[in-house]
Copies of this chain bind each other. A is one copy, B any other.
Amino acid sequence: MKSFKELQVFIEQQIQEESRRIKTFSPANLYEPIGYTLDMGGKRLRPVLALLAYNMFRDNLEQVIPAALAIEIFHNFTLLHDDIMDKADVRRNQPTVHKKYSENVAILSGDAMSILAYQYLLKSPSGNLRQMGELFSKTAIEICEGQQYDMDFETRDNVSIDEYLNMIRLKTAVLLACSLKIGALAAEAPTQTADQLYDFGINLGLAFQLQDDWLDVFADQKKFGKRIGGDIVSNKKTFLLLKALELSKGTTNQSLQEWIKKENFDPEEKIAAITAIYQQLDISEITLQTIETYYQSALKIWKELDLHISQKSELLILAKRVIERDR
């Protein structure tokens, strides 16, 4: 079995090769932005999970490349369209597609990416093609549902923690789970193991997104790529904010509500004030405990996987790395 780092290098090469190829297609205004999007990089976590799951059962990795590329292209498509909807100007320190090209180009090249994803998936030589297609489609629709809930939450002031957890399950966790399961399906692994990998991925994905929420406030700025407190400034309804709204009473709750409503403020002052409220309410510790709970659920499933330790150890190494990033 290859290490996840080897898999990362391997799939990065494949993605770059496909990007180069795609950028030669006509019309350029459709395909160039797709290459640009794929070149933006990232950790390629999802295709690595697909490769890793496949590699637990089989060595001929070239057979899972189409499915892994499908997942990475689909993921990048969702980022591209989300950036239009969120009016985000920058991603990974580069202008977003709708800023660099135009909104129409961003809509249409995104549409083409989602179809390209299916085109790659359909190249999978696996005997489980139908199940892979069904899982991929179910996941893709759920991601749209998650994005819609996320947008709906922006204008609602009574979002519960359960609703939030369901939203991040749809928007983030199902694709990690799908990546693992699709790798297992591509390898024609036992159904039960494929399902366990899916559940492992859901728990890992929830932990991953909660970690993202936590990092926005409590990360070490030096290690963390993004600016600290972005979610606080934009009143993003994260686990931290929703928990603070739930737990705060009296003047603390009043102060929190005031900061949320304020339209003119010094960002640094707002970040400091809300972080202080979070500290008062022990939000950091509560969030880390919730992350730990999901991580332990994943670990429990991992232990139950009916596989030799040599087959499954790399998955645990990757999971630990995902959760412990930059903490």
Q: Shortest distance in angstroms between A83's beta carbon and chain B's nearest beta carbon?
A: 11
In the complex the two chains form, is A152's CB within 8 Å of B81's CB?
no
Contact B122 A141 (CB under 8 A): no
Known contacts: A130-B129, A133-B133. The answer to whether A148 contacts B108 by CB under 8 A is: yes
| Interface residue? A287 (CB, 8 A) | no
- A81 contacts B144, C-beta separation under 8 Å: no
Chain-B contact segment, one of A112-120, A195-203, A298-306: A112-120
Assign chain A's interface to a size class: 20 to 34
Residues 251-295 of A, flagged 1 when their CB comes within 8 A of B and 0 if not, give 000000000000000000000000000000000000000000000
Q: Is A2 an interface residue (CB 8 A)?
A: no
- Hey, which chain B residues are within 8 Å of A7, CB to CB? none
Task: Point out the residues of chain B lying under 8 angstroms from A148, CB to CB.
Answer: 27, 29-30, 108
Which residues on the B side are within 8 Å of A235 (C-beta)? none
Chain B residues contacting A116 (CB-CB under 8 Å) are 141
Pick from B30, B112, B134: contact of A122, CB below 8 A: B134
A147: CB under 8 A from chain B? Answer: yes
Please tell me if the beta carbons of A144 and B84 are within 8 angstroms of each other in the complex.
Answer: no
The answer to whether A145 touches B30, judged by C-beta atoms less than 8 angstroms apart, is yes
Let me know if B104 and A118 touch, CB within 8 A. no
Q: Which chain B residues border A137 with CB–CB below 8 Å?
A: 115, 118-119, 122
A169 to chain B, nearest CB (A): 14
Nearest-neighbour CB distance to chain B for A264, whole angstroms, equals 26
Contact with B along A122-140 (1 / 0, CB 8 A): 1000000110011001101
Instruction: Tell me if A27 and B145 are in contact (CB < 8 A).
Output: yes
B-contacting residues, A1-45, CB 8 Å: 26-27, 29-30
A305 nearest CB across to chain B (Å): 28
Which of these, B84, B104, B122, B141, contacts A119 with CB under 8 Å? B141
Known pairs A129-B129, A137-B122; A114 contacts B114 (CB<8 A)? yes
Could you say which of A114, A118, A152 has the most chain B C-beta atoms within 10 Å of its C-beta? A118
13 residue pairs of the A-B complex, CB under 8 angstroms, read A26-B145, A29-B151, A81-B111, A85-B107, A107-B107, A108-B144, A111-B111, A111-B114, A116-B141, A119-B134, A119-B138, A122-B133, A129-B129
Nearest 4 pairs of A and B residues by beta carbon: A30-B148, A112-B144, A119-B137, A115-B140
